């Protein structure tokens, strides 16, 4: 646990270390780069990361094939937190990595449930496994299994630890039993016990660097219980159609389209669904149900050595989609989907405003050389943003504390909210 400079959180909590690449957004992983500095024997990331030589010269930080390292002792800190704060969980790993057993994740969920004043932010590229975790939870008795796995972890760690740590684990066991009972009672009173699967203080976020990863991971995210569902489009590597107001669930096979969650296109009173496997079909209103939309969109360009281009027109388009959607939902400012423009990145391109990477160009049309260097190499200083991109750092309102979404009709807003 420690302080961080990440703009959308206050601290980080790492109960595991290590990862591996799964999509283009992983190519210049900052966590791997950090890990290589502490990967010698006896250090925190020993054997987990290394520098890989590139054919054209230089090197790239990559994760090794060493299994993810679990750090259960770090969970103990959670029970001592009282003041409200936002905590990014597993900034140097992925909570839903295949090396991490569901039993370990379940114990983490129990610890988070027992720190209700803290907002935990889970960011993952493994959205399918996240959905499978909640399915596993339901199959094993619901949220009670989180507590059961946490108590098992306490007993195991107490038996394997020295005197001082064993005492802390036994004390944690007692605290978990008391607090989890209180959390369960509150959930039953305020929301109905089945809704406890969506913990009041846990936000689920999927990393989506382009359209392909967005479509794949958001379809899984929307099936997971959460009071806030968000995306982290950082690094943003291309334009993304968010499909706000157009996500649907098809509950049974229809004209060759298997049941699932899809981003539908409006077609009069019906919608057109493409399953991405060659299947396309028009669905009538009684053949699908609307899904909730994402509540939060973190947007940012890549930074660091070898960072890839971030064209700011992609960012402007996403912000325009969100604004149009919020207005259509009669929301006064960000609320149903809140944008958070984190940084421009180290290779931002904005011909309209003469921005090229870390430099502003006085007269890009005349081909003049860069003359003004940005102070923040990550492009994260709002004062250095183009004027129209300032003031877009908002946090979402958890669904627990706001009015239900108005019903989505096929003719509105679906017919109005295409890609701008």
Q: Which two tokens stand for residue 201?
A: 């203080």
DSSP per-residue codes, 282-306: EE-GGG-EE-PPPSEEEEE---STT
Is 373 buried (19+), middle (13-18) or exposed (0-12) by CB count in 10 A? exposed
Q: Which two tokens stand for residue 145?
A: 């299994």
Residue of 119, 132, 85, 68 whose CA lies nearest to 228: 119
pLDDT tens-digit map of 108-120: 999 999 999 999 9
For residues 107 and 227, what is the distance between their CA atoms, to the nearest angstrom?
A: 20
* 138: pLDDT strictly greater than 90: yes
Element (H, E) at 185: helix 163-190
pLDDT tens-digit map of 351-398: 778 887 777 765 555 555 556 678 888 899 999 999 999 999 999 989
Any idea which of 208-212, 267-271, 351-355 has the lowest mean pLDDT?
A: 351-355
DSSP per-residue codes, 357-419: TTEE-S-GGGTPPP-EE-SSTTS--GGGS-GGGTT-B-----GGGSPPPPPPBTTBBTTT-S-
Q: Which two tokens stand for residue 182?
A: 């209180």
pLDDT tens-digit map of 299-327: 999 998 888 999 999 999 999 999 999 88
What pLDDT sits at residue 420? 25
Question: Scanning the structure block, which residue is given the tokens 């001082």?
Answer: 164
For residues 319 and 233, what is the distance between their CA atoms, to the nearest angstrom?
A: 12
């Amino acid at each position: 646990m420690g302080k961080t400079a990440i703009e959308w959180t206050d601290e980080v909590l790492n109960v595991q270390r290590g990862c591996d690449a799964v999509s283009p957004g992983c190519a210049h992983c900052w966590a791997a780069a950090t890990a290589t500095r502490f990967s010698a024997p006896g250090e925190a990331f020993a054997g987990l990361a290394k520098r890989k030589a590139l054919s054209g010269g230089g090197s790239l930080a990559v994760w090794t094939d060493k299994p993810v390292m679990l750090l259960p002792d770090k969970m103990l800190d959670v029970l001592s937190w009282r003041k409200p704060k936002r905590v990014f969980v597993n900034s140097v790993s992925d909570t839903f990595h295949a090396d991490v057993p569901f039993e370990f994740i379940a114990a983490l969920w129990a610890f988070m449930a027992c720190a209700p004043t803290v907002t935990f932010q889970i960011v993952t590229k493994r959205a399918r496994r996240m959905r499978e975790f909640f399915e596993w939870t339901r199959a094993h008795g619901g949220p009670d299994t989180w507590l059961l796995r946490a108590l098992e972890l306490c007993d195991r760690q107490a038996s394997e630890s020295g005197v001082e740590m064993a005492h802390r684990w036994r004390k944690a066991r007692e605290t978990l039993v008391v607090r989890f009972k209180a959390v369960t009672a509150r959930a039953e009173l305020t929301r109905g016990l089945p809704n406890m699967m969506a913990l009041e203080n846990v936000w689920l976020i999927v990393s989506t660097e382009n359209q392909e990863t967005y479509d794949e991971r958001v379809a899984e995210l929307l099936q997971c219980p959460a009071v806030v569902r968000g995306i982290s489009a950082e690094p943003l590597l291309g334009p993304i159609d968010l499909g706000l107001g157009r996500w649907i669930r098809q509950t049974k096979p229809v004209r060759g389209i298997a049941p699932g969650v899809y981003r539908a296109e409006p077609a009069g009173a019906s919608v057109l669904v493409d399953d991405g496997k060659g299947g396309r079909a028009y669905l009538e209103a009684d053949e699908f149900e609307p899904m909730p939309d994402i509540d939060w969109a973190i947007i940012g360009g890549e930074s660091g050595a070898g960072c890839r281009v971030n064209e700011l027109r992609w960012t402007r388009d996403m912000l325009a989609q969100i604004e149009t959607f919020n207005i259509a939902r009669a929301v006064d400012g960000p609320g149903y989907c809140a944008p958070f423009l984190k940084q421009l990145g180290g290779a931002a391109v904005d011909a309209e405003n003469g921005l090229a990477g870390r430099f502003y160009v006085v007269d890009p049309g005349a081909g003049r050389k860069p003359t003004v260097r940005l102070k923040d190499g990550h492009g994260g200083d709002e004062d250095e943003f183009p004027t129209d991109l300032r003031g877009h750092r908002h946090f979402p309102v958890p669904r627990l504390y706001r009015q239900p979404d108005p019903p989505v009709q096929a003719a509105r807003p679906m017919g109005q909210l295409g890609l701008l």
